[in-house]
Amino acid sequence: MYAIVDIETTGGYADRNRIVEIAIIIHNGEEVVEEYETLINPERNIPANISAIHGISNGMVQDAPRFCDVARRIYELLDGKIFVAHNVNFDYGFVKHEFEMLGGKLNLKKLCTVRLCRKIIAGLPSYSLGNLCNSLKIVIQNRHRAGGDARATALLFGMLLQKDCDGFIQKSLKKNSGEALLPANLPREQYDALPEKPGVYYFHDDKHHVIYLGKAKNIKRRVASHFSGTATSWSRQNFKGKVHAISYELTGNELIALLFESHEIKRLWPIFNRAQKYTAPNFGIYSYEDSNGYIRLIANRVKPGDQCLITFRSLMDARHFLVKKVKTFDLCPKLCGLQKTPKACFDHQIKICQGGCIGLVSSEEYNQKCTEAIATFHGEEASYAIIGKGDQLFTQSITLVEKGQYIGFGTMPADATLNGLHDARIYVRSYKDNREVQSIIAGYLKKSSDQVVYFQPQNAMEILS
């Protein structure tokens, strides 16, 4: 027995919207045996733009029953049936959410007539209900109302039952088929072809624009997780309805997948990716020589093209780092940008600083200590390559960091040896450094057993130049 369902709502996702009309048509596999249709008072306003679509106004539902008033009848109609709808996850998500708000549960097998049509009646120009019915000469009475659309879906479903020579409907109902979980417009063949390997995957809309991308240790398993369960939030429900295709890039290991995902999000700006679109600016420590010949250090925001000595995620981190260097190497806090005063720094007044800020220490002597401090920046900001599994046989991945700055990643032969930074740079494609990739690399190194090759730092005077 099949329950063919159509609903009209106050909006596009179940979390914050309600049903305003529902129609349920019971089909025994041969013919319609029962019909049920009712307006429902959503107990909230119907937005004008939504009312313009289905024609149901606030006045029309004012005296209609609430969902709780008809819930028992709806449950009796659905119980033990196979839930059928055009883009089934939308309708099922709303109905299930209504029952959950009453403390009940709904757990039915599902069939999506969009997916069934794509398989059983392939090659049509469009699989929206209106266009589909036009192609198949099915007349829809009262379009965009629950009863009219449900009756049209029932006629369509009856046609599918007759044309299903390969038993696709029964195959779709098997527990491991996954048909009901996949987005209505996504070809099953694309999902089946996904590899169970690390990489980056892309979801495309009907114009092949990337609307979401992600990384995974196992691409197929991760993609499946996006579609499991019932979507009730705006992001998941809207997202699933827009997915028409999937593509992917293999990366060989998790680190490259993480780094490539971060780069691609900032390159493509997919509408459903939010976390890494906006990157907070990094801060760095710069050095310069003032008019009196003293080397000064200052923490400032990093600008494109600037060359700084060391970078940090925040200004506070950079200033804390400078405070430690001032104490360790007996530097002047004023000359390090930590104090602003027209006269001697406060540390000199309490006899901690030797007075470089007012010329009591020669520039040669002070610069020597400052140069020694800068040399230790490199001790903390090392240059190294992370060597991991490659995306092909007999290859390995390489991720390069120079002086604490992310340079990029690439692929090199499995038998390659690195004798220095020059050898590493040959295999690496450059990518932008930012807060996210710094965090990705730091987190990965804490848990990974990948080989890390460290390179000797340059001397401090070479850094300053």
Whether 92 and 230 have beta carbons less than 8 Å apart is answered as yes
Looking at residue 413, what is its pLDDT?
A: 94
**Which amino acid is residue 308, in one-letter code?**
C
Looking at residue 464, what is its pLDDT?
A: 44
Dump pLDDT digits (tens) for 94-117: 999 999 999 998 999 999 999 999
Identify any residues that bridge with 413 across adjacent strands, giving them in sequence order.
395
Residue 55 CB partners (closer than 8 Å, separation 6+):
144, 145
Fold observed for domain 2-172:
Nucleotidyltransferase; domain 5 (3.30.420)
Mean pLDDT of 430-439: 85
> What is the rounded end-to-end Cα distance, in angstroms, of the chain?
80
The CATH architecture to which 188-268 belongs is 3-Layer(aba) Sandwich (3.40)
305 compared with 226, residue with greater pLDDT:
226
Whether 453 and 402 have beta carbons less than 8 Å apart is answered as no
pLDDT over 90 percentage in the chain: 66
For residue 437, is pLDDT > 50? Answer: yes
Whether 426 and 419 have beta carbons less than 8 Å apart is answered as no
Phi/psi for 328 (5° steps) reads -70, -40
Return the structure tokens found at 137. 């000469």
Q: Is 33 helix (H, G, I), strand (E, B) or coil?
A: strand
Largest interatomic CA distance in the chain: 101
Question: 325 to each of 32, 315, 341, 383, how far by Cα in Å?
Answer: 82, 16, 20, 21
Q: Do domains 2-172 and 188-268 have the same CATH topology?
A: no
- Residue 65: closest CA among 46, 30, 87, 41: 41
CA distance 158 to 164: 10
Residue 69 CB partners (closer than 8 Å, separation 6+):
none
- Each domain of the chain, given as residue ranges in start order, spans 2-172, 188-268, 283-375, 383-464
**Which amino acid is residue 434, in one-letter code?**
N
Encode burial over 19-40: b for 16+ CB neighbours within 10 A, e otherwise: bbbbbbbbbeeeebeeebbbbb
Specify the pTM: 0.62
For residue 438, is pLDDT > 90? Answer: no
Residue 209 CB partners (closer than 8 Å, separation 6+):
none
The mean pLDDT value of the chain amounts to 89
Whether 194 and 220 have beta carbons less than 8 Å apart is answered as yes
For residue 445, is pLDDT > 90? Answer: no
Return the structure tokens found at 107. 């757990």
Say which range, 31-35, 166-170, 238-242, 422-426, has the weakest mean pLDDT.
Answer: 238-242
Q: DSSP code of 358?
A: G
CA distance 371 to 38: 81
Phi/psi for 404 (5° steps) reads 80, -5
- Residue 340: closest CA among 362, 319, 371: 319
Dump pLDDT digits (tens) for 142-194: 889 999 999 999 999 999 999 999 899 998 888 666 676 788 888 888 998 99
The number of angstroms, rounded, from the C-alpha of 448 to the middle of its chain's C-alpha atoms is 23
